[in-house]
C-alpha cells in the first residue's frame, strides 16, 4: 500500500475551531477518557487527512484514537453527537460557525472516573497511604496507652458509640491493614531459593573456569504480591457493623497494591473507585447512598453471580484472596449461593468469610445461606471486634 508522505500537520483549523475542539477534548476527559497532548495533535492530523464533511469516517477515526476502554468506545458516539450536533445541525461539521454554541454541560465525573487526567504523565499509582495517615494516627494512639487500646480492640463494633472511640477504632483498622501488607512484603524478599539456572550469568562466570560451569547462579522465583477482593454485606442486618468495615476496607485498599472492594445487599456495587478517595470520611460520604435505605433482604447468591460474571475476570488472578464480610442471612435461594460460591472457589486462591455474628457467644452457623456457603470457605472467622480482625493477619500472610 502506498500512502502519501505524511508531514507534520499543516492544516490550520483557525482559532475559534481550535478552541471549540479543545472544549470537545475537555468534555471527553470529564467523561473519563485519557487524552494527552500527543492525542490532540494526532487528531489534527486526522482532520488533515480526511474530508471534514465525511462524518462517519471522522467519528470512527477519532473514536479509535481517543477511546482506550470498551466503555469509552461505547459512549464516544453519543458524546460526539451531543457536543457537535447539540443544535440539531446534522450532516456537517462546521467548525467556524459553531463558536457561539453554548458549551455542552459536562456531566460530573462518575464515582469510578476519578479526576480528569491530562498531560503526558501516566496515571498515578494508587496512593500508597500505608505510611502517612496510619502512622500519624498511630502515633496519637500510642499516647493513649496500651491498656486502653487493648480494651478498645476487644469491644464489639456495635458498642463503639462515641465519636472519639470510633475514630480510634478506624485508626486501628488502618494500622492493621498496613501491618498485613508489611508482613507480606517481607515474606517476598525472603524467598530466595532459585529453581532455574540463570544461564546468562552462569556462562559469564564459567569463562574464567575454561567453560566449565562451576559457579552456578540461580534465578529467583519472583513472588507476586497478594491481591485482595473484598465483598461487604451492607444489608439491614449488618448495619451496626457497616461503618467499621467500610473503614477497614478503606484501610486495606490503601495498603494493598491490588485490591478491589464491592458492597452488596440486593445487588452488587463496585465501590473501588469511590473508596480510593484519599479522605476516608469523603469516601464514606460518596457512597453512603449505596448503603442507605436498603430493604428487601440480602441476595448474596445473586450478588456473587454478578461478581463472577462481570468483575471476577478483571479482579481475580492466581494470588488473590477473596474476603466476604457478611452475616450469611440469605433471602435468595441457598442453592444459587452454593453454585456461585463453587464457581468463585475455582477462580481464586482463598476465600475468607468474616462473620460478625460468629463472635457472639453460642453462635452456630445455622443461617441457611451460611450453611450453603461454608463448604467452599477456606477460613470462617469472627469479625466483631478489632482483635478478631488482628487474628487474621498471620493467615493472610500465608495465602
Partner 1 sequence: MSSMSLVRNEISERLAAVGYVADRDLATALWLMDLLKRPLLLEGEAGVGKTEVAKALAALHGAPLIRLQCYEGLDQNAALYEWNYQRQILAIKAHEGEKADLTEAQIFSEPYLLERPILAAIRAETRAILLVDEVDRADEEFEAFLLEVLSDFQVTIPELGTIAARSIPRVVLTSNGTREISDALRRRCLYHYVDFHDQDREVAIIRARHPGIEVALALQVARLLQAIRKEDLRKVPGVAETLDFAAALIGIGQNDLQQDPSAVHDLLMTLLKTHEDQARLTHEVVERLIAKVA
Single out the residue of 104, 153, 185, 206 in contact with partner 1 (rule: CB under 8 A): 206
Single out the residue of 5, 8, 207, 289 in contact with partner 1 (rule: CB under 8 A): 207
Q: 380 in helix, strand or coil?
A: strand
Closer residue to partner 1 (CB): 41 or 182: 41
CB of 269 to partner 1, least distance (A): 18
172 and 134 in contact (C-beta within 8 Å)? Answer: no
40 counts as binding partner 1 under rule CB under 8 A: no
49 counts as binding partner 1 under rule CB under 8 A: yes
195 counts as binding partner 1 under rule CB under 8 A: no
Q: Which region among 70-78, 136-144, 148-156, 160-168 touches partner 1 (by CB under 8 A)? A: 70-78
Closer residue to partner 1 (CB): 7 or 162: 7
Q: How far is CA 10 from the centre of its chain?
A: 43
Q: Which region among 63-71, 293-301, 321-329, 370-378 touches partner 1 (by CB under 8 A)? A: 63-71
Angle at 270 between CA 267 and CA 272, to 5 degrees: 155
Closer residue to partner 1 (CB): 57 or 86: 57
282 counts as binding partner 1 under rule CB under 8 A: no
Closer residue to partner 1 (CB): 9 or 365: 9
Single out the residue of 50, 217, 290, 399 in contact with partner 1 (rule: CB under 8 A): 50
Residue 21, φ and ψ in degrees, nearest 5: -65, -40
65 counts as binding partner 1 under rule CB under 8 A: yes
Do strands 259-264 and 268-270 pair parallel, antiparallel, or not at all (unpaired)? Answer: antiparallel
Task: Name the helix (H) or strand (E) containing 262.
Answer: strand 259-264
CB of 312 to partner 1, least distance (A): 10
Rounded Cα–Cα distance for residues 235 and 293 (Å): 9
First to last CA, the chain: 54
Rounded Cα–Cα distance for residues 188 and 197 (Å): 20
Q: Which region among 56-64, 159-167, 228-236, 382-390 touches partner 1 (by CB under 8 A)? A: 56-64
350 and 322 in contact (C-beta within 8 Å)? Answer: yes
342 counts as binding partner 1 under rule CB under 8 A: no
112 counts as binding partner 1 under rule CB under 8 A: no
CB of 7 to partner 1, least distance (A): 12
Closer residue to partner 1 (CB): 19 or 37: 37
- CA atoms within 13 Å, Cβ hemisphere of 33: 25
74 counts as binding partner 1 under rule CB under 8 A: yes
Angle at 182 between CA 180 and CA 187, to 5 degrees: 100
Q: What are the counts of helices (DSSP H) followed by strands (DSSP E) for the chain?
A: 18, 8
CB of 280 to partner 1, least distance (A): 24
Rounded Cα–Cα distance for residues 136 and 178 (Å): 12
Q: How far is CA 175 from the centre of its chain?
A: 20
How far, CA to CA in Å, does 309 sit from each of 20, 232, 314, 340? 41, 18, 10, 10
Residues interacting with partner 1, by CB under 8 A?
1-4, 6, 34-36, 39, 42, 45-46, 48-51, 54, 56-57, 60-61, 63-65, 67-70, 72-74, 117, 122-123, 199-200, 203-204, 206-208, 210-211, 213, 224, 313-314, 317-318
Amino acid at each position: 500500500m502506498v500512502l502519501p508522505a505524511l508531514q507534520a500537520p499543516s492544516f490550520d483549523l483557525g482559532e475559534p475551531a481550535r478552541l471549540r475542539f479543545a472544549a470537545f477534548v475537555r468534555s471527553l476527559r470529564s467523561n473519563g477518557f485519557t487524552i494527552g497532548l500527543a492525542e490532540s495533535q494526532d487528531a489534527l492530523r486526522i482532520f488533515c487527512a480526511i474530508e471534514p464533511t465525511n462524518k462517519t469516517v471522522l467519528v470512527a477515526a477519532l473514536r479509535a484514537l481517543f477511546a482506550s476502554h470498551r466503555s469509552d468506545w461505547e459512549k464516544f458516539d453519543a458524546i460526539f453527537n451531543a457536543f457537535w450536533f447539540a443544535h440539531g445541525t446534522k450532516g456537517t461539521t462546521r467548525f467556524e460557525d459553531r463558536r457561539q454554541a453554548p458549551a455542552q454541560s459536562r456531566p460530573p465525573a462518575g464515582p469510578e472516573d476519578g479526576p480528569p487526567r491530562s498531560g503526558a504523565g501516566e496515571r498515578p499509582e494508587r496512593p500508597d497511604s500505608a505510611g502517612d495517615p496510619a502512622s500519624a494516627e498511630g502515633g496519637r494512639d500510642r499516647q493513649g496507652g496500651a491498656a486502653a487500646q487493648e480494651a478498645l480492640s476487644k469491644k464489639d463494633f456495635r458498642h463503639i458509640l462515641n465519636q472519639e472511640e470510633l475514630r480510634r477504632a478506624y485508626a486501628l483498622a488502618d494500622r492493621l491493614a498496613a501491618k498485613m501488607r508489611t508482613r507480606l512484603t517481607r515474606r517476598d524478599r525472603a524467598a530466595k531459593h532459585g529453581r532455574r539456572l540463570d544461564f546468562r550469568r552462569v556462562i559469564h562466570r564459567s569463562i574464567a573456569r575454561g567453560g566449565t560451569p562451576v559457579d552456578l547462579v540461580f534465578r529467583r522465583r519472583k513472588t507476586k504480591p497478594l491481591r485482595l477482593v473484598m465483598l461487604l454485606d451492607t444489608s439491614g442486618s449488618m448495619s451496626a457493623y457497616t461503618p467499621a468495615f467500610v473503614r477497614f476496607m478503606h484501610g486495606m485498599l490503601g495498603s494493598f497494591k491490588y485490591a478491589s472492594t464491592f458492597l452488596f445487599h440486593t445487588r452488587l456495587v463496585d465501590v473501588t473507585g469511590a473508596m480510593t478517595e484519599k479522605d476516608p470520611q469523603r469516601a464514606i460520604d460518596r457512597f453512603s447512598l449505596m448503603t442507605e435505605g436498603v430493604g428487601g433482604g440480602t441476595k448474596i447468591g445473586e450478588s456473587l453471580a454478578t461478581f463472577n460474571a462481570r468483575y471476577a475476570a478483571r479482579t481475580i488472578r492466581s494470588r488473590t484472596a477473596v474476603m466476604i464480610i457478611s452475616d450469611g442471612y440469605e433471602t435468595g435461594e441457598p442453592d444459587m449461593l452454593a453454585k456461585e460460591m463453587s464457581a468463585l472457589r475455582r477462580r481464586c486462591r482463598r476465600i475468607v468469610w468474616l462473620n460478625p455474628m460468629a463472635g457472639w457467644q453460642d453462635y452456630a452457623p445455622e443461617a441457611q445461606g451460611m450453611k450453603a456457603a461454608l463448604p467452599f470457605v477456606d477460613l470462617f472467622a469472627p469479625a466483631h471486634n478489632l482483635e478478631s480482625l488482628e487474628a487474621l493477619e498471620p493467615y493472610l500472610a500465608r495465602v
